[in-house]
Each structure stands twice: as C-alpha cells, then as structure tokens.
Structure 1
Amino acid sequence: MPRAGFDASWLDRRLQTGRLEYLDRDDVNDRVKRQVMWSLDWMGRILRDHEHLAARALPLVANIIEPRILELGAGHGALSRAVLALRPDARVTVTDVDPVSVATIAAGDLGSDPRAVVRRVDATDIDAPDRSYDLALFALSFHHLPPVQAARVLAEGTRVADTLLICDLYRPSAPVHLLRLASMLPFVLLPFAHDGLISSLRAYSPSAFRALAAHADPAITVEFSRLGRNHIVLARRTRLP
C-alpha cells in the first residue's frame, strides 16, 4: 500500500522509500544510533513534545480515576514521565520492543516508580487481555512500520485499550512534501537528518490510516487532528454490547 494511501497521486506514490533509518538497521554502529536518539530526545525536550502530547492525551481519561495507560514504543520513556507529572494518579505500563531500551528505562526513575511497570512488549502482539487499559499511546514510531505491521498495531492497540492514540509525522500534500524534503537534503550526511528524511518519506497519510484500520478490522474508526508538525490519530473499536 502507498504510504500516502490508495488514492494518492502519481507524485505522492513516488515520495516514499523502502530504505531503513539508521535506528532500524542492524549493520549500523551503536554510536550512530545513540547520536540519532540523543538528537530526537534533545529536540523533544526543546519543543516540549512529550508535555504537549501528554496534555492532548489525558483529557481522554479525564473522568477515570487512576486511569490505566499503556505506552508502546516508549524509547526513553519521556512520554510516560510527562503523563505521570500531569496525572499523578495514573498507572502506566511503559513498553518497548527493544530490550536495551527496556533495560535503560527500568534502571531509571520509572523503574523505581510504584505507579509504573516497565516491560518488553511487541506492539504488534501485545500480551494482555482485551480492554486491559483505558488508553494506549504510540508516539513518533508508527512510520517505522511496514503496512502489515502497522495494521497489526491498530488491531492490537484497539483490542487492549478503549482508545489508541498515535502521534506521528504529518504527511503534507505532494508539493509541500517536496519542499520539506529539499530543505533536508543539504544536511542528509548528518545521522539525524538522514533518518528525518527517510521518516518523512515513510510517514502515513490519513487516507493510508483509514485503509490500514479497515484492513485491521472494519470495526475500527479513526479520527485526525494536528499537533504542531505532527498529527494525532485516535483509533477506537466499535464493540458489541
């Protein structure tokens, strides 16, 4: 499926790539990966991405006492920290598929916080019963997934949680996308810019999200909104009484 959706224009269909980011490759030196992760974390802290996203997500559980929140693909766990800062009564399960990331989170403040549980979890195959959580969060990692795995995340996230909130790169119209890519090209030798360029080419459009949700389960609905340079996707599953 095209990253811009089945109804994408000729140009939009070509503004994608199968090339992997450094973060997704096994043949890349760990030093390069750490540099990319540090850059992402630094940018997130400067722009307060995690705080803004937590503030957008928490109204979804405003009327729930001690809401059960699952973070998928947590990376360093910064979003879970922001959630707990804004909702001290929340109970968060902080997860990632990468065992090194999980070990790092567990060794830090979240690992010793009684409100948090740190686990290794594959977002495409979540080991939890249906409706175990009030809210699941998946931030800035969805574009890493090929369509088959992306559909599985939608299926699993809406199975284990009442609402799945995905925050990921906003994919603009093809002409604007070309301008964005052109602005990145002079810096592409830098690991962070290299991954940023590929991330932009792999970002899913709203049309693609709708197709992925329909493939995952026709009972899944998706809603869209913007949050700065990213977009928010709310996925929910219609359940029988």
Structure 2
Amino acid sequence: MERMSQSNVDVSDMPRGGFDASCLDRLLETDRLEYLDREDVDPGVKRSVVRALELTGEWFGNHEKFAHIALDEVADVPDPRVLELGAGHGGLSAKLLEMHPTAHVTITDVEPESVAAMAAGPLGSDERATVRLADATEIDSADGSFDLAVFALSFNHLPPAKAVRVIAEGTRVADKLVIIDLPRPPAPLHLVRLATMLPLAPFIPFVHDGVISSLRSYSPSALRTMAALADPAVTLELRGGLLSPQVAVASRR
C-alpha cells in the first residue's frame, strides 16, 4: 500500500513509463490513436475490434478473472453497487451479475454505439443492470454512489491528464476504483512483445489496436504519480504485472 503527495507537476508531459522511465522506454510509446478512438474509421472496423475483445475475453477467461478481482474488493458488502467504466461490450459486467446474485451493476461507456449495443442485448433487460452513457473523466453520479468502480483494459486509451481525472472521479463516486490493464514490462521485454505483434498489425484491426495499447500502457511509477495528483488522499495498491494484468486499487482514506 502506498501513499504519495506531489505538487507543481505537469503530468501532461509525463512518459507512459513515468518520469523515471529509461531512454529506451520513452521511445516505446506513441500518441497514435487506436481504431476505437478515431472518428475517421469505418464503424464496422470498430465493431470488429470490440467483438474481438469480447471473444478473447471469453476464450481466455479474462471476463471471469477480472470479475473475481473486482468482487474480491467488495467481498464484505452484501449487495454491492458496482460501476463499470469503459465497458465496451459489457462482458465483464455480465460476468459480475452471473457470479454475484445480489450485485447491482451500472454499465457505462463513452461511445453511444457501444451503449446502444449493450442496452439492446441481455444487459439491457436485466433488472439488476443499468446501461448508460458516461464519460469516465466526468461521472454524473453523487459522491459515494457505488461500492466499487472498475475500469478494465481501457485505461491505456487515456492521456495522463485524463487518466488523473478518472482516478479522481472513480474514487469520488465509489469507495474503491479497480483499474485492470496491460502491464508495461521493462523495455527489453516490451520490445519482444511488440515484435510478436507488429507483423500482423497492418492486417488485423484487433492486433493493430493491441500494439498501440501496449505502447500506451502505464508503468507502476506512472500510476503512482497520477494517483497522487488525483488527490493526496488517494491510496494506491498495485498488483500483478509482467505476465499477468496490472491491477491498481485506488481509494481515499
């Protein structure tokens, strides 16, 4: 468990590896947007990426794994109120509802098309689920509205200043914010990971976005800095990384 306080820091220029990142690590990042974040991309391409994320989450058990991580944080809450940010396809929320019979889940995304698709599916008719449009950097909910907020595999889409806002907002509306994302490995290992993906990136939209996600992933150092800037009262616990998802649990004490 770590607690930090910083001031007079311009986070907008922070490398994804943090201010203490090596020269090589600083080269392994990009400002290029994923297909999911671009407005000049065919909607069909975006849907293919979202569908691939949903399917790989099912095939590799990520939805269930992430649901366990989230529910462990509210194990002592009888009827947890959970907010999913950047839900995309809603696979994680569906698993949360399946695994916890009394949980109430609010499923959100900033993309109207994604929200409409989730609302038109099983989540839209589940009495314990609410599907709505929401920007994770400016959540339209009162302080303490939720026991838990979870943001899975989308945090890397945000530039540092917006990521700070998500931490501030997530810990404002929920008792805990769980961020699950790609780990940022040491630069030599990062090069190996990128080398396995780059040959397919020009041909497969899902891999294209995966390469950019890897380049935009945050290190533990960067996460600590952003948590401290979100609010000095935010406490951050980091777990996982390297060969497993990086998990950050933020709360205010």
1:199 to 188, 195, 213: 213
8 Å CA contact retained: 2:110, 2:133:
yes
Q: For structure 1, which runs of at least 5 residues remain unmatched after alignment?
A: none
Q: CA RMSD in A?
A: 1.1
2:147 to 129, 134, 138: 134
Aligned to 1:81: 94
TM-score by length of 1: 0.96
SS of residue paired to 1:198: helix
2:121 to 108, 118, 129: 108
Q: For structure 2, which runs of at least 5 residues remain unmatched after alignment?
A: 1-13
Stretches of 4+ aligned residues off by more than 6 angstroms? none
Aligned to 2:230: 216
Rounded Cα–Cα distance in structure 2 between residues aligned with 1:65 and 1:37: 32
Greater displacement, 220-229 / 7-16: 220-229
TM-score by length of 2: 0.92
Output aligned runs, 1:12-27, within 5 Å. Answer: 12-27=25-40
Residue 162 (1) aligns with residue 178 (2) = no
SS of residue paired to 1:165: strand
Residue 28 (1) aligns with residue 30 (2) = no
How many Å apart are 1:63 and its aligned residue? Answer: 1.4
How many Å apart are 1:103 and its aligned residue? Answer: 1.0
How many Å apart are 1:191 and its aligned residue? Answer: 1.2
Determine which structure has greater relative contact order: mean sequence separation of CA pairs < 8 Å that are 6+ residues apart, divided by chain length: 2
The total of aligned residue pairs comes to 238
Give the counterpart letter for 2:236 in structure 1: V
Rounded Cα–Cα distance in structure 2 between residues aligned with 1:116 and 1:36: 24
Rounded Cα–Cα distance in structure 2 between residues aligned with 1:122 and 1:132: 16
How many Å apart are 1:61 and its aligned residue? Answer: 1.1
Rounded Cα–Cα distance in structure 2 between residues aligned with 1:32 and 1:67: 35
8 Å CA contact retained: 2:227, 2:235:
yes
**What does the per-residue CA deviation read over 1:151-182, in whole Å, with 9 as the maximum and x for residues that have no partner?**
00000000000100000001100110011111
2:201 to 188, 194, 199: 188
SS of residue paired to 2:151: strand
SS of residue paired to 1:172: coil
Aligned to 1:146: 159
How many Å apart are 1:50 and its aligned residue? Answer: 0.7
